[in-house]
Amino acid sequence: MSTAHPGDGAARFSNNFDLLRFVAATAVIVTHAYVLSVGYSNMRLYDPILLMGQAALAVFFVISGYLIPVSWESTASLPRFAWKRFLRIIPALVPVVLITLFVIGPLMTSLPPVDYYSTLFTLEGISSVPFFENGGVIGLFQDNPVPLVNGSLWVIPVEIAMYGVVAVLGLAGLLRRRGAIIGLAAINILLWIAWFDDPRASKIRFTLYFLIGAYFSLHRREITYRPLIAGILLLVLALSVLTPYPLVAGVICIPYLVLYAAHIRIPLLNTFGRAGDFSYGMYIYHYPILQALIQISGDSLSLPALSGISFLIVLPLAFLSWHAIEKRALAAKNLDLADLRRIFRLPALTDPGPARK
């Protein structure tokens, strides 16, 4: 999943956001390796590995909620804010879609090549492309325990929606008003209560993680992170797995724990991301890779083997994604109109002269 960067230059390496995102992405890979090989119908609601994956996803949303308001405050311009968010998400996402459709798809589909491509370019096929809810239309992964092609991409529109929330609040001058974020969180909680028993609709709680992260960010000068508080919250979170409400405990405990861990000053941990931020690439590539491995192996791989092999394939892809695409895209975030004219060789505007100014 995508997030803003915690800063440029030295500021980026004064915290542990890169490390936390990498760990969260790895946990998501392990969780999906388990889920995709076992199948949702064979899992318990509060399966420990499933809870681990949900906690990892919560980490992403908390960090994103914490950093995106900072991005807005440093920009204070809707076009430039949207441009920066576009560069962080879309350039790396396009190759994933193309590789899935034109490399993995033709190799893994149960359809003949002619039927695969003819179906892919129908209205039904194209409509199934953006989030890969089910690969049945193009003959992908129908014999796997879970027939989704890249089910993890559901977070992308949610993330984009939260960017929109920050932008709207910023434009309205409400971003720093305590009542704005608290009010949105209250509405979110009411909707979560109403949809608590619906596994898909109850995912709205992840936007609550974003809002809590945003609140911590906007009031960061007033909030301190203390080991005693973190220890108590960690204990509460651990004990919650013995109750019917670990998801509630997660919303209460995880945001503070994540931001406490992010602000621990240990140089070895702070500089973890010097080689690059691979978490987004890991997140968007891992799901179809896992599905392909499950299909090739006939779902015979053990969880450690499936997780390990997928990690060894996904990490180089994430490395290439960062260095060939993401880092280059982010370098364009501060381009102005003059830069764009130069890049695209557009004619410069002529000076109208003193009489016409």
User: At residue 340, does pLDDT exceed 60?
Assistant: no
Answer whether residue 93 shows pLDDT above 50: yes
Grade residue 82 by pLDDT with cuts at 50, 70 and 90.
Answer: very high
Residue 336 confidence (pLDDT):
64
Q: What is the model's pLDDT at position 329?
A: 93
User: So what's the pLDDT on residue 273?
Assistant: 85
| Residue 333 pLDDT class (50, 70, 90 cuts) | confident
Q: 130: pLDDT confidence band, cut at 50, 70 and 90?
A: low
d(CA 202, CA 121): 33
Q: Residues 6 or more apart from 219 whose CB is under 8 A from it?
A: 178
pLDDT reported for residue 334: 78
pLDDT per residue as tens digits for the range 175-211: 888 889 999 999 999 999 988 888 777 889 999 999 9
Whether 17 has a pLDDT exceeding 80, the answer reads: yes
* Separation CA 322–CA 274 (nearest Å): 12
Mean pLDDT, to the nearest integer, of 143-164? 94
Please report, for the chain, the start and end positions of each structural domain, with discontinuous segments joined by +.
9-326
> DSSP label at 299?
S
pLDDT digits (tens, 9 = 90+) for 265-301: 888 888 888 889 999 999 999 999 999 999 999 999 9
Q: What is the pLDDT of residue 351?
A: 45
d(CA 68, CA 73): 9
pLDDT at 357 over 60: no
Share of the chain above pLDDT 90, in %: 69
Q: What is the pLDDT of residue 353?
A: 44
Q: With 60 as the cut, is the pLDDT of residue 4 above it?
A: no
Q: DSSP assignment of 97-156, as one string?
A: HHHIIIIIHHHH-SS-HHHHHHHHTSHHHHHTTTT---GGGGT-STTSSS--SSGGGGHH
Count H helices, E strands: the chain? 16, 0
Phi-psi region of 22 (alpha: psi -120 to 50; beta: other; left: phi over 0): alpha
Q: Is the pLDDT of residue 110 over 70?
A: yes
Q: State the chain's mean pLDDT as an integer.
A: 89
